[in-house]
């Protein structure tokens, strides 16, 4: 009887671009453009400069291009480009009952390996679809958040599988790459609890780095535990508990179940922020006159960003804390009329108006809303002003959720908003064209377009 990693390797080997539906291909392209927008929008940030200095110091064979120029090793390109995608916390998400992940975190790793292997755009898209499928399906059946582990744990299997695919590994190499990655690099959830650090944005890029490391070891013949999932002290024994996936009958469509962000904010805040914007616009609410803001939300939002299990969210001093605080993000939306990268500048975070208003936000979990998640992203919001006037709204979703998915034009608008002061109009148009026609090109054309960007500006 075959092991689960052997079944997964066979699924990866059989996957082809031709198995993708037109809708899946379109969605993959939208996710790629969305991720590139996030990456360019992060250019100039202090932690990105820190990582660039690390890349320069460590060096490495120049097999893969960096966004904005330069070359380095495949694993370090995945680390750097992946951090650019992830830093703003503005890229896509997948919601499972016990887990939330950001599958476009895989794009940088798959792209670096695809450039190294010199494959077609079609092959890159097929491998990326594998990464989405593996990470999302493991999130469905094997959540690890409540066990104290980070969602990057499932991502390691996705990275190794997709990188092995794009590098044309045989079945044995795939088995070993996935087994090594899944065994060696299981990260802790403390990454996203309490006082948040730069590691919140670095954790998945590091997982991508490690997944590529595992794949290149397997490429040389290094073996890994074939019972990584079901074996004694394996993933199931040690972390997830028992689960099953019938990889023989899996498709490549999970990407179509992912969602994009409308606001530069943690994913579970999106319907709340849209609700704040709706009330602000409809009733012309003056934030200076607000007495109290009451939010009822579902359990996951409450525990991650509302002051529940993962800590007090009224103490906000840095970007990583601000974009994971419902209190801060609601205050920013009401005061500024939007939540974008500029709302996370140090001077904005420390301003007295936003610090005072966020302490007027009260968040609680509602059982009936928790029962509706993740089919919906339901909230009830009430804003009370001085004099006792109250304005309320209920939301079940937002623009970008699975019930109202963002189309190509919406993501182009987001792309333009995040990149308008970072790159030229001609570069914007070229990137949009390359991504939209990626299945008609070699993947190197996308890498070249990203590498030749003349990035400017700072956050």
Q: Which CATH architecture has domain 267-395?
A: 2-Layer Sandwich (3.30)
Judged against a pLDDT cut of 80, whether residue 47 lies above it is answered with yes
* Over residues 62-84, mean pLDDT: 97
pLDDT (tens digit per residue) in 122-152:
999 999 999 999 999 999 999 999 999 999 9
Query: Region 384-390: what's the mean pLDDT?
Result: 94
Domain 4-257 belongs to what topology? Answer: 2-methylcitrate dehydratase PrpD (1.10.4100)
- What value does the mean pLDDT of the chain take? 97
Please report the pLDDT score of residue 145 as a whole number: 95
Q: What is the mean pLDDT of residues 81-109?
A: 97
Residue 457 has a pLDDT of 64
Q: Where in the chain is the domain with CATH 1.10.4100.10?
A: 4-257
pTM of the entire predicted model: 0.96
pLDDT digits (tens, 9 = 90+) for 415-425: 999 999 999 99
**SS3 assignment for the chain:** CCCHHHHHHHHHHHCCHHHCCHHHHHHHHHHHHHHHHHHHHCCCCHHHHHHHHHHHHHCCCCCEECCCCCEECHHHHHHHHHHHHHHCCCCCEEEECCEEECHHHHHHHHHHHHHHHCCEHHHHHHHHHHHHHHHHHHHHHCCCHHHCECCHHHHHHHHHHHHHHHCCCCHHHHHHHHHHHHHHCCCEHHHHCCCCCCHHHHHHHHHHHHHHHHHHHHHCCCCCCCCCCCCCCCHHHHHHCCCCCCHHHCCCCHHHHCECCCCCCCHHHHHHHHHHHHHHHHHCCCHHHEEEEEEEECHHHHHHHCCCCCCCCCCCCCHHHHCCCHHHHHHHHHHHCCCCHHHHCHHHHHCHHHHHHHCCEEEEECHHHHHHCCCCCCEEEEEEECCCCEEEEEECCCCCCCCCCCCHHHHHHHHHHHHCCCCCHHHHHHHHHHHHCHHHCECHHHHHHHHCCCCCCCC
Confidence at 194, pLDDT banded by 50, 70, 90: confident
Residue 458 scores a pLDDT above 60: no
Write down the pLDDT at residue 237. 98
Give the per-residue pLDDT at 370.
Answer: 98
**Residue 2 banded pLDDT, cuts 50, 70, 90:** very high
For residues 342-354, average pLDDT: 97
Which band of pLDDT confidence, cut at 50, 70 and 90, is reported for residue 69? very high
Instruction: Determine the pLDDT at residue 299.
Output: 97
CATH 3.30.1330.120 domain locations along the chain: 267-395
């Amino acid at each position: 009887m075959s092991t689960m990693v052997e079944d997964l390797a066979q699924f990866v080997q059989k996957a082809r671009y031709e198995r993708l539906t037109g809708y899946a291909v379109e969605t993959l392209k939208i996710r790629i453009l969305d991720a590139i927008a996030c990456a360019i929008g992060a250019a100039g940030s202090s932690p990105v400069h820190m990582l660039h200095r690390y890349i320069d110091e460590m060096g490495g064979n120049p097999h893969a291009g960096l966004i904005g120029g330069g070359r380095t090793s495949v694993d370090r390109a995945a680390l750097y480009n992946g951090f650019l995608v992830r830093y703003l916390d503005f890229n896509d998400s997948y919601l499972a009952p016990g887990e939330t992940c950001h599958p476009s975190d895989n794009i940088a790793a798959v792209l670096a390996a695809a450039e190294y292997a010199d494959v077609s755009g079609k092959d890159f898209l097929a491998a990326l679809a594998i990464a989405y499928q593996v990470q999302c399906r493991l999130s469905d059946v094997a959540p690890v958040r409540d066990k104290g582990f980070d969602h990057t744990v499932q991502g390691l299997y996705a990275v190794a599988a997709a990188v092995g695919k794009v590098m044309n590994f045989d079945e044995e190499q795939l088995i070993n790459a996935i087994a090594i990655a899944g065994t060696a690099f299981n990260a802790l959830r403390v990454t996203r609890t309490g006082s948040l650090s730069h590691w919140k944005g670095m954790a998945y890029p590091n997982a991508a780095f490690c997944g590529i490391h595992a794949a290149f070891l397997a490429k040389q013949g290094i073996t890994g535990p074939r019972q990584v999932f079901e074996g004694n002290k394996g993933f199931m024994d040690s972390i997830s508990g028992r689960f099953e996936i019938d990889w023989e009958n899996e498709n490549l469509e999970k990407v179509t179940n992912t969602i994009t962000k409308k606001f530069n904010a943690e994913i579970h805040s999106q319907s709340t922020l849209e609700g704040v914007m709706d009330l602000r616009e409809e009733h012309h609410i003056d934030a200076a006159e607000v007495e109290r803001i009451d939010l009822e939300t579902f359990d996951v939002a409450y525990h991650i960003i509302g002051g529940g299990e993962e800590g007090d969210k009224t103490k906000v001093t840095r970007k990583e804390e601000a974009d994971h605080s419902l209190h801060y993000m609601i205050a920013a939306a009401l005061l500024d009329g939007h939540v974008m990268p500029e709302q996370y500048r140090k001077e904005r975070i420390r301003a007295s108006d936003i610090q005072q208003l966020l302490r007027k936000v009260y968040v609680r979990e509602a059982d009936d809303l928790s029962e509706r998640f993740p089919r919906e992203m339901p909230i009830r919001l009430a804003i009370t002003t001085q004099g006792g006037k109250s304005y309320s709204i209920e939301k079940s979703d937002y623009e970008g959720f699975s019930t109202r998915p963002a189309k190509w034009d919406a993501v182009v608008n987001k792309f333009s908003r995040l990149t308008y002061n970072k790159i030229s109009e001609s570069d914007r148009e070229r990137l949009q064209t390359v991504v939209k026609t990626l299945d008609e090109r070699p993947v190197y054309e996308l890498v070249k377009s990203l590498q030749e960007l003349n990035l400017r500006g700072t956050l």
